[in-house]
Copies of this chain bind each other. A is one copy, B any other.
């Protein structure tokens, strides 16, 4: 296989060269005298990425799934009622985890393509006078469908009702990529993973925890050990960890956090929006294809693309991979065979996404889609040009 492999799945994302360089290193002692001096500012700076002032961020050697578990087991008790909604693969798995851990999720099933049903949430929470519901869960970005939900609106519902439930956000494919305001939106538990907006290999589960959640965790009673907050707090406060941390990834994280903060989170979000626009323009230009997400839920990190009738999305992905060395995301569960995904989060630029659109276009054509060759590409570059022009006028 020649040339670079092209990666456009919604995580893992492309690793910036400075991050890759930083991870090319010999091992080190995670108990070295100066290691704490490296860890403490890193954990502090992570708070700026999560946008929390009064909370803290934990970094677990785990996937994002592990951080989900950490969030539940440290702050809830078996049998607690939890308000959740299900509209894609990851929101579904989250519900499943809640059940496994002995919580009682109250689940709202929503059509795939839409997001958290804020009005329904309001109705249920309003009816919960006795505050039996201990947590409200929001999948900010459903990676399966490319749907972004309105976290802030859910906070407003809770505030309006004076409901004390904790607000959990699955931000695995949104944090460090699209607008997320942990403090301002009153998010209590915010789950992220290293291999998305943080532009690192997989291996770290990141978890933002609000002051309120930290307090709750002191009394919460689910069995836990590996993901115990109190161990982390005690050691992190000295700059160390309760067990061997993934130092290589932490060294990479230092550089990726530097890149994010130097750019500024608002600029990161704007960039992702700009890049996503080109992909969406291309999809709209492909005759017979469609964006799975409803217009009010469009995600800036991943676009799920329904293929034309008669085309097998699995074949599209396979063709892109085998012939064009390009990884596209698979349609998951009910979208298997019917949709594929283009991940457009992480370290990207217009030319990379033109490649992504080109690969998808070639693969669609090869598998029988009757789209016009070049139609998506033309739409994408037109979008990028217009957007740049608009930017420049604005500036």
Contacts and interface: CB of A to CB of B under 8 A. Distances in A.
Q: How many copies does the complex hold?
A: 4
A271 B21 CA distance: 28
Interface in A23-48: 23-33
A185 interface: no
Interface residues of A, number: 103
Contact of A373 (B5, B64, B322, B378): B378
Given A20-B24, A101-B225, A249-B203, A243 B7 contact: no
A45 to B, nearest CB: 19
A3 B352 contact: yes
Contact of A377 (B4, B27, B100, B354): B354
A4 B247 CA distance: 18
A366 interface: yes
A325 interface: yes
A78 B12 CA distance: 37
B226 A69 contact: yes
Interface of A: 1-7, 9, 11-17, 20-33, 60-66, 68-69, 78, 97, 100-102, 193, 195, 201-203, 222-228, 242-249, 263, 271, 318, 321-327, 329-330, 347-352, 354-356, 358-359, 361-362, 365-366, 372-375, 377-382, 384-385, 388
What are the 3 closest A-B residue pairs judged by CB atoms, nearest first? Answer: A374-B378, A3-B349, A354-B358
Given A7-B26, A65-B242, 12 more contacts: A30-B202, A32-B327, A62-B66, A62-B226, A63-B243, A65-B244, A325-B349, A350-B362, A354-B358, A358-B377, A374-B374, A374-B378
